[in-house]
Structure 1
Amino acid sequence: MTETTRPTTAIDFRYLSEQDMIAAGVTDMATCVDAMQETFVLLHRGDYRMAGPNADSHGAMITFPDESEFETMPANTADRRFMAMPAYLGGSFGTSGMKWYGSNIANREKGLPRSILMFMLNDTDTGAPLALMSANLLSAYRTGAVPGVGARLLAQPDSQVVGIVGPGVMAKTSLAAFVATCPKIDTVKIKGRGRKSLDTFTSWVADQFPQITVVEVDTLEEAVRDSDIVTFCTSGEAGDPSTYPTLTRDWIKPGAFLSMPAGCNIDETLQGPDVRKVVDNTRLYEAWAEEAGYPSHNVIPIIGCKFLDMIHDGAMDRDELIDLGAVAAGDVVGRRSDDEIVLMSVGGMPVEDVAWGTVVYRNAVERGIGTSLNLWESPVLA
């Protein structure tokens, strides 16, 4: 069958390996930050859909019981889960997709990432697949880029010192985004738990950003104190918020921007209305609160869930919470003064995967990257 006589029902899609994704620009952080900022404007305008009753759910997750009557069913160990995260995003993207992954912290003993991710991008009209992508880098870079949008809009533009707790993947991509948006950064203070992760982080910074000095610190306070930008990128068990890494106001420099994409808590000194509280999408946290019940911060350790619990308790007014998208769209002022402390929660959303996946896919098509796979020439059961 020649190309000219090929049936119009034929569907091909593109497979992109991790190396293909790199060649197509998945690690281009500056462009990723721009894509995420456009995404947040679309979120603010409502030009998107996610799962759940309010169309703002993080996704659907399979977990395992602590004990099972079935011999082959996995045990409920740390970070063992499967998750599907579907979304549609409008604007210049106009695509739909789903990130799917399995996760198990024991993977590290096998030399594998904790989570192994794939992403399927689809044509929104027909539902046909456009691309199947390796998604560990896709997810990591879009996750880091969101703090970069926050830094662009909410941090002091002359920020120089970044304090990081947890020298893992999120720390690396968050720092890359901070540097892309605050180019005067020259110092990173890092607190970690293991020598290997600290050495890996330090070597990565030296390779990627040789202009930056890395200073190892021993405590949360040292990481936070005198830093212009602060981020906690640790992993840990949910359940008791008193065990989460906790911020206190005495540590925080006036005017600091704090981006929290991982478990975190705040004491009463930071709960007042003079501390600006920002979330990536209020409706995401409302969906979590509906799914997890009250108090949601005990189930999901992201600080935005603490904000929702505070509103539930009457400790915070609903209008004190602002969306990053409203700031990105110019409809709400972000920072109200040079000395204001700004605390931003980053929960992560599948619309971000759709946005960055679409950009990378279009790059791959333009550059001829990836492997073309045939779904069918003509469907058998049409």
Structure 2
Amino acid sequence: MSKYEFLYLSQSDVVACGALVMDDVIKDLEYVFTLHHANDYILPSKVVLRWGDAESEGTRGRINAMPGYVGGGVDIAGIKWIGSAPKNPHEYRLPRASALIVLNDPETMLPLAVMDGTVISAMRTGGVTGTAAKYLARRDSKVAGMIGAGTQNRTQLMALKAALPQLSKVKVYDLSLERAESFAAEVSETLNVEVIPVSSGERAVVGADVVVTATTAKEPVIKAEWISEGCFYSHVGGYEAEFSVIEKADKIVVDDWEEIKHRGVQTLALMHAEKQFHTENIYAELGEIVVGHKKGRENAQEFIYFNSVGMAIDDLVVAKRIYENAKQKGVGTPLTLWDKPVFV
């Protein structure tokens, strides 16, 4: 048996192969949502490694293992191993999130690539919101309200701008005014959109056509009375919205209801656990809308609430494209797994 190699892709390699191209990420995700609807995927539930209970994730952090298989024209297996350490930025000057993605051949099961997953993870999480906005937000949406001003909020806004080209103004609130101001200065220039730091969550949300919350909040940061008629709200983090926000929605759309329940930390899951929300209240999973089995937005007055938990298949579909691009461009470092296997 001959020597076996796999491809290693650093973060700069991943970026060079198109990881920061949001339009392509959204195309990847639209396709994976069609496969999700067709049940052409395998998605074991996330395994969460943490030092304590769910509350400890906000202080000590966690590491998630997210395996999966994507069928169709992607045909790839793999896993994302992603750590989240809240103390990293201010104590160690390191990113909060760090990830590796391993891709495996679904026939031989051998590894094809090991790559940085940090950029892919951030981009696909933003891209899920962008994909949902394409089908659920008003096409004439001009004003967005965002709560949170971290890395994830940057990719959320990148995706909104890609999906909603007429978006021209963003109000952002963060517990740190300095961080909100820095976010506004950077993103205004890179995305050619007016970003305004505001002094409260209410100021960010009231009057917004699109609302995104991507925070580490352990208590709600959104109230129902702040939500305007015709709003699209993408709920990315945990317990970010009061129960009354969900109760106000005309349509409730999710990426994967079973995984939201399994993760158990977002508002919908908490409501369900307290028997204040029932499965039949979900209008659709996003894949049903992407393939046209159910309608997305039907009028300008609907308040549509979208909740995503994030799926490994989101990461894998993007990672497979990056891997194929790397092979075509000759990017990356081949690493030897064995010259001759010890056991066969």
Shorter-chain TM-score bucket reads: over 0.9
On the 8 A contact 2:220/2:242 being kept in 1, the answer is no
CA distance in 2, matches of 1:206, 1:33: 21
Question: If you compute each CA radius of gyration, which structure gives the higher value, 1 or 2?
Answer: 1
Unaligned runs of 5+ in 2: none
- Output the TM-score relative to the length of structure 1: 0.84
Quote the residue 2:5 is aligned against. 12
On the 8 A contact 1:163/1:190 being kept in 2, the answer is yes
Q: CA deviation at 1:201?
A: 1.0
| 1:351-366 alignment, distance < 5 Å | 351-366=313-328
CA distance in 1, matches of 2:313, 2:79: 9
- Identity score, percent: 30
Question: What residue identity is the alignment partner of 2:167?
Answer: I
Note if 1:115 corresponds to 2:63: no
The counterpart of 2:272, out of the listed 308, 318, 335, is 308
| Number of equivalenced pairs | 340
Q: CA deviation at 1:316?
A: 4.3
The counterpart of 2:14, out of the listed 5, 18, 21, is 21
Task: State the Cα deviation string for residues 223-253 of structure 1 (Å, max 9, x = none).
Answer: 111111100111134xxxxx221321x3222
The counterpart of 1:63, out of the listed 31, 50, 57, is 50
CA distance in 2, matches of 1:174, 1:338: 22
Q: Secondary structure of 1:152's match?
A: helix
Note if 1:91 corresponds to 2:72: yes
Question: What residue identity is the alignment partner of 1:19?
Answer: S
| 1:147-186 alignment, distance < 5 Å | 147-186=129-168
Tell which deviates more after alignment, 188-197 or 118-127. 188-197
Quote the residue 1:234 is aligned against. 215
Q: Secondary structure of 2:87's match?
A: helix
CA distance in 2, matches of 1:202, 1:254: 26
Q: CA deviation at 1:269?
A: 6.1
Question: What residue identity is the alignment partner of 1:116?
Answer: S
Q: CA deviation at 1:268?
A: 3.0
Q: Secondary structure of 1:246's match?
A: coil
Question: What residue identity is the alignment partner of 1:107?
Answer: N
Quote the residue 1:332 is aligned against. 294
On the 8 A contact 1:42/1:91 being kept in 2, the answer is yes
Shift of the 269–187 alpha-carbon distance from structure 1 to 2, 3 Å rule, reads: closer
On the 8 A contact 1:304/1:346 being kept in 2, the answer is no
Note if 1:246 corresponds to 2:209: no
Q: Secondary structure of 1:375's match?
A: strand
Note if 1:46 corresponds to 2:39: yes
Q: Secondary structure of 1:265's match?
A: coil
Question: What residue identity is the alignment partner of 2:135?
Answer: L
Spell out structure 1 runs of 4+ moving beyond 4 A.
Answer: none
- Alpha-carbon RMSD across the aligned residues, in angstroms, is 1.9
| 1:120-131 alignment, distance < 5 Å | 120-131=102-113
Q: CA deviation at 1:123?
A: 0.7
Note if 1:261 corresponds to 2:236: yes
Unaligned runs of 5+ in 1: 1-6, 52-56, 67-74, 238-242, 289-295
Question: What residue identity is the alignment partner of 1:337?
Answer: N
Q: Secondary structure of 1:117's match?
A: strand
